[in-house]
């Protein structure tokens, strides 16, 4: 299955799941809680504070392992000028954020982090629903985001 077919499929539109494709075009679905959705909104609003770009929710990115969908992403003005709202993006926006659901494994998050970084993301945030945030770049895990934003106080209220 191709991503355009997934988007056009009316039977998939109202499912309460995040949908992705694996490398063979098989549909992968993950359930999301209301807390998960709230964390996405908080992160997207925080990223909107960055100048020179925009935040995106449910950002589809083509990878060698299929289309992955970052819960939230931030693309610079230069990225947006190159790609607009291409679906899926052929490269990752500068910041890709995964909100880790209880059903997500550490291995899944490790693989997605590597896929986003290999697709040219500058950093990846893994945000747990309880407010713990981990930051990664091409050198590995970092103590903070290089963009200077800290979502933790906003998530822990």
Rounded mean pLDDT, 29-57: 89
Answer yes or no: is pLDDT of 157 > 70: no
Average pLDDT, stretch 42-60?
A: 95
- Each residue of 98-153: pLDDT tens digit? 999 877 889 999 999 999 999 999 999 999 878 889 999 999 999 999 999 888 77
Following DSSP, what letter does each residue of the chain receive, concatenated?
--HHHHHH-GGGTT-SEEEEE-TTS-EEEEE--HHHHHHHHHHHHHHTTSSSEEEEEEEEEEETTEEEEEEEEEEEHHHHHHHTT-SSBSS--SEEEEEE-TT--HHHHHHHHHHHHHTT-SEEEEEETTS-EEEEETTEEESS-TT----HHHH--
The CATH H-level (homologous superfamily) assignment of domain 32-155 is tt1808, chain A (3.90.1570.10)
The pLDDT confidence band at residue 11, using thresholds 50, 70 and 90, is confident
Mean pLDDT of 39-68: 94
Mean model confidence pLDDT for the chain: 90
């Amino acid at each position: 299955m191709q991503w355009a077919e997934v988007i056009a499929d009316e039977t998939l539109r109202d499912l309460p799941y995040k949908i992705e494709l694996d490398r063979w075009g098989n549909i992968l679905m993950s359930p999301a809680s209301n807390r998960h959705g709230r964390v996405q909104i908080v992160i997207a609003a925080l990223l909107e504070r960055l100048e020179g770009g925009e935040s995106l929710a449910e950002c589809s990115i083509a990878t060698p392992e299929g289309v992955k969908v970052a819960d939230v992403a931030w693309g610079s003005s230069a990225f947006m000028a190159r790609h607009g709202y291409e679906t899926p993006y052929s490269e990752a926006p500068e910041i890709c954020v995964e909100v880790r659901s209880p059903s997500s494994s550490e291995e899944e998050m490790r693989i997605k982090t590597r896929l986003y970084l290999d697709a040219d993301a500058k950093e990846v945030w893994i945000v747990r629903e309880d407010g713990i945030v981990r930051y990664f770049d091409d050198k590995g895990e970092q103590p903070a985001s290089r963009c200077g934003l800290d979502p933790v106080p906003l998530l822990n209220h």
